[in-house]
Copies of this chain bind each other. A is one copy, B any other.
Amino acid sequence: METVKENKIFSRQFYLLPGECNSEQEMPLWLLVNRIIEVATLHADSLGIGYKRLSRDNQAWVLSRLAIEMERYPKVGENYTLSTWIESFNRHFSERNIEILDENDHPIGYARTIWSVIDTTSRTSCDISALCSMADNVAEKECPIEHQSKIKNVDRQQESRYTFRYSDIDFNRHVNTVRYICAILNMFPLQFYDAYSIHRFEITFIKETYIDTEVIICIDDSNPTDCKAEISDGDTPLCRARIVFSPRNKDNRQ
């Protein structure tokens, strides 16, 4: 669980516990997203631009976009490492990348994330160019996965409703990032996950959602291995996602 820092890259090692695994005895996407948020938070803390510093000015980091591409996921009982670095930033957004490594330090996946800072009282976006420690900490490391695509025209091939409750809400009192992702993944049956793994996942957060909101979850699976998803409150889109599935290699199954 040691934390190392060198070359403007922040790394942390984890161990995949049985109780954390999905039905395929692998790291679930929701845990991976939590781990990405964890290393991003700890790296920002170490640069003096983390939660504690920002909350003094009633500001908070908000994850606005996320693209993950995995060659494979860590398996039960396996050690894995997340390394993160700042790729770039402008007034409105900071681009932070993540490399996921297996226990032999071989990369097994990458993520691209886009963060903004909001004023927690007015809920409006803040200028982040003043967070000057970022300028000194942009790293040159390459992230070999494509930037996020623009997700639009989600046809309502499948539709379901869900009401967000207490355990879906985070410390900002809006729906937790990971609970949107679970709501989308829950639209696919277990048998599908037994046959396919999530090769690439993209999500764009459009609007905050509050407790007791009944949302509509739509899946466009006209291409069954490259699906689009939208969560909306009536006609108001809250987030849109893209899920690219790849067939599981039977030899790799546990």
Contact = CB atoms under 8 A, between A and B. Distances in A.
Interface string A113-126: 00000000000000
Interface string A185-203: 1101110010000000000
A76 interface: yes
A51 interface: yes
A171 to B, nearest CB: 4
Interface string A9-48: 0000000011111110100101000100110011000000
A26 to B, nearest CB: 8
A38 B1 CA distance: 13
A165 B187 CA distance: 8
A28 B167 contact: yes
Interface residues of A, number: 42
B211 A22 contact: no
A29 to B, nearest CB: 9
How many monomers of this protein are in the complex? 2
A173 B191 CA distance: 12
A30 to B, nearest CB: 6
A3 interface: yes
A206 B173 CA distance: 33
Interface in A223-237: none
A52 interface: yes
Contact of A23 (B22, B23, B173): B173
Given A166-B190, A166-B193, A188-B166, A19 B1 contact: no
Q: Which 5 A-B pairs have the closest CB atoms?
A: A165-B186, A21-B171, A1-B1, A167-B182, A19-B37
